[in-house]
Structure 1
Amino acid sequence: MSFAITPAKRKSVPMLISLAGVSGSGKTYSALLLAAGLAGKGSVGFLDTENGRGSMYADSPGIMSALPDGYEIAEMKEPFAPSRYSEAVDGFERHGCKVLVIDSMTHEWEGHGGCSDIAENNKMKGTPNWILAKREHKRMMNCLLASGMHLIFCLRAREKIKVMKDANGKDQFVPIGLQPIQEKNFTFEMTLSLLLEEGTHRPIVTKCPEPLLPLFAGEQPLVTKEMGRKLRAWSEGGAPAEENPDVLFKQGTEYAAQGTVSYTDFWETLTGKQKKLLLPKHDENKELARMADERQKPANVAPAAGLDY
């Protein structure tokens, strides 16, 4: 038998997140804050298709506070072909980025040289060649899904109308609200999809895994770096979104058993409330982490420095 069948275990999984909204809804700013939390100590990349607008936030006090070391940026000019997005994602990953913000992903679908242009410019018997366009789009999606980075996509949104037949067979135009401008199945590939309100910038959840729903319970908070930290913790199998002392104790012990670096990374993903809940076990976990370090290091290596958190 060529397949190895083993018990299922929770593994670290890169997240694909979409933030959709009209112009001025806070997509770029929110995406950078989310990226700051997702990256932890890793670097954040930014693919700018908006003629350099991504650099406008480099000196924003809020972004500078969230990303003290800044973020790496590259500009993409037209054509916005799917293959160029794949190339850019590969380039940022090779550059060492842990999180990549793509602003805007809408250009890939209806920007100059994007899928709409591919279909129109390669007509077959006068009909737009959507088979070709969607094939190129699918290849790009396979690249995105295979990336080891967390990917955050900013999407433009517009009001859409659905045509439906009434009881008499006549067409009725029914508004269906704001919809992301992308291929219709794009959001189904996302781990998390949010629609940002124009006035408040608050996120409306359009797709979310059940374990993350507590993040968005009650009155919707603004997107923050802290939210990104919680998403990273979940993606890495760390602290759950809800505050559950038993789960935190168990996970703290598991991370401490892997050493100081592992436990430090786990501790830094926790909220203030979660740290307070875990505090009774914190010193015990730090000692467990030190012991793990001792077991793992080669002989004649100096002891590790003390934990300062």
Structure 2
Amino acid sequence: MNAHIRFIPVTEIHDPLTLSIGLSGGSGTGKTYSALLMARGIAETVTGRPGAPIGYVDTENKRALHYKQAFPEMMHFDFQALDHSGNVVGFPPERWIEVIDAAEEAGLPVVILDSFSHAWEGVGGVLDLHAQTLDRLTRGDDSKKDARSQLAWAEVKPRYRRLIDRIVRANTNIIICTRAKPVMQKGFGNSSVNARKTKTRREDVPWDPASDADLMFEMTTMVILDPSAPGCPVHQIKVADQFKGLLDPRRPMGVETGRAMAEWAKGQGNAQKQKELLDRARTEARKGKEAFMTFWNSPEGKEHRELLRTILEECQRLAHEAEAKAEQNDDDPFGLPPVGDSLTDEQRAEMEAAERAFREQGEQG
């Protein structure tokens, strides 16, 4: 038996969790102000006292100091691309790890990284490191860049992955602000959709964060703000049921948002009960429209209607699917819809290309 491994009953674990919150958006969407408000709520809840310090890592030419009168508790760090001697050092992953280490050593209850986009697309960031590595591997021969690109990523991505792991393992709460750029659309008005899909881009979200999927989906919560509603979590990329009641797309995030999320992290919030209620709503929706309507109009449904509205669209879809399935005639196999092969377009294209190559080899043989 391995004496170094011990499974601990969760009832004996009382350490608070830490939050990693991602806020992305274009200029004027309220990222900085929202981050400061939420950080104030987190810091006061964690420490139990008003005016608790908020760490702020500023890559935006001291832009956060515009808010120093409103947030005198801010502990500011001017994170520049130059070192003390004026040499360009950029924003590689290792420097961000040092910043998080320093925030923990200073005992800060929360730290804001703004703008973390520099870690991805800034000088010395991941994209810049990839380009430098690719130049070294190809020695300036552009004809070799496509073939060597993955080799370059193999050198750079582990460094970035260590940074993401450091964020996840942080002993302080972290709010990460990133820029977002508008996505090219096809179609017009309400019928327009994103022109091209990527692994970090949802078809219904017209913004592309300056980061990658590794970061976005490691966050406790990840939202994209929209200029049409500054400070509001309009596009919810990753929001667990525990936070759906807190992050209303129509209501700006603020001190109370941070306070409630910190209470959940301490294990003292009512987030688990909210999740159970939302799961019960989904269960009723899977039974069909009538069952869901009964639950919606029940005393419990009326009491928590504001929370239930956060998943109303999802429940409507589940109920419609249940009704459609109930109408299908299982006695007629030709009347049933095809199951599908669950392949993505890229996977199907690769499979078809492999089949063609195999047939061509057979014909040549």
Q: Same fold (TM over 0.5)?
A: yes
Please say if residues 39 and 54 of structure 2, whose CA atoms lie closer than 8 Å, have aligned partners that are also in contact: yes
Secondary structure in 2 matching 1:18: strand
Cα separation, 1, equivalents of 2:30 and 2:195: 30
Give the letter aligned to residue 247 of structure 2: F
Pick from 133, 144, 147: which aligns with 2:170? 147
Match of 2:121 in 1: 110
Give the letter aligned to residue 215 of structure 1: L
Structure 1 position 241, deviation (Å): 4.5
Structure 1 position 94, deviation (Å): 0.8
Cα distance, 1:196–1:112 mapped onto 2, change above 3 Å: same
Structure 1 position 7, deviation (Å): 2.3
Cα distance, 1:135–1:162 mapped onto 2, change above 3 Å: farther
Structure 1 position 173, deviation (Å): 3.6
Match of 2:74 in 1: 71
Give the letter aligned to residue 167 of structure 2: L
Cα separation, 2, equivalents of 1:162 and 1:122: 33
Secondary structure in 2 matching 1:50: coil
Cα separation, 2, equivalents of 1:131 and 1:24: 36
Are 1:20 and 2:24 an aligned pair? yes
Please say if residues 247 and 253 of structure 2, whose CA atoms lie closer than 8 Å, have aligned partners that are also in contact: no
Q: Name stretches of at least 5 consecutive residues in structure 2 with no aligned partner.
A: 82-89, 139-144, 187-193, 198-202, 275-365
Match of 1:280 in 2: none
Secondary structure in 2 matching 1:189: coil
Cα distance, 1:196–1:173 mapped onto 2, change above 3 Å: closer
Please say if residues 234 and 240 of structure 1, whose CA atoms lie closer than 8 Å, have aligned partners that are also in contact: yes
Give the letter aligned to residue 208 of structure 1: V
TM-score (norm 2): 0.58
Are 1:83 and 2:86 an aligned pair? no
Structure 1 position 58, deviation (Å): 0.5
Q: What pairs up with 1:151-162 in 2 under 5 angstroms?
A: 151-161=174-184
Structure 1 position 161, deviation (Å): 5.0
Give the letter aligned to residue 210 of structure 1: D
- Cα RMSD of the aligned pairs, angstroms, is 2.3
Greater share of helix residues, 1 or 2? 2
Cα separation, 2, equivalents of 1:162 and 1:137: 30
Structure 1 position 6, deviation (Å): 3.0
Are 1:190 and 2:193 an aligned pair? no
Cα distance, 1:186–1:146 mapped onto 2, change above 3 Å: same
Structure 1 position 5, deviation (Å): 2.1
Cα separation, 1, equivalents of 2:8 and 2:165: 26
Q: What pairs up with 1:1-309 in 2 under 5 angstroms?
A: 1-2=1-2, 3-9=5-11, 11-40=15-44, 41=49, 42-59=52-69, 64=70, 67=71, 69-78=72-81, 79-123=90-134, 124-125=137-138, 126=145, 127-128=148-149, 129-161=152-184, 173-174=195-196, 176=203, 177-201=206-230, 202-204=232-234, 205-217=236-248, 220-241=250-271
Give the letter aligned to residue 32 of structure 1: L
Match of 2:200 in 1: none
Cα separation, 2, equivalents of 1:162 and 1:200: 20
Give the letter aligned to residue 4 of structure 1: R
Greater share of strand residues, 1 or 2? 1
Structure 1 position 46, deviation (Å): 0.2
Secondary structure in 2 matching 1:223: coil
Give the letter aligned to residue 67 of structure 2: Y
Secondary structure in 2 matching 1:5: coil
Cα separation, 2, equivalents of 1:31 and 1:116: 26
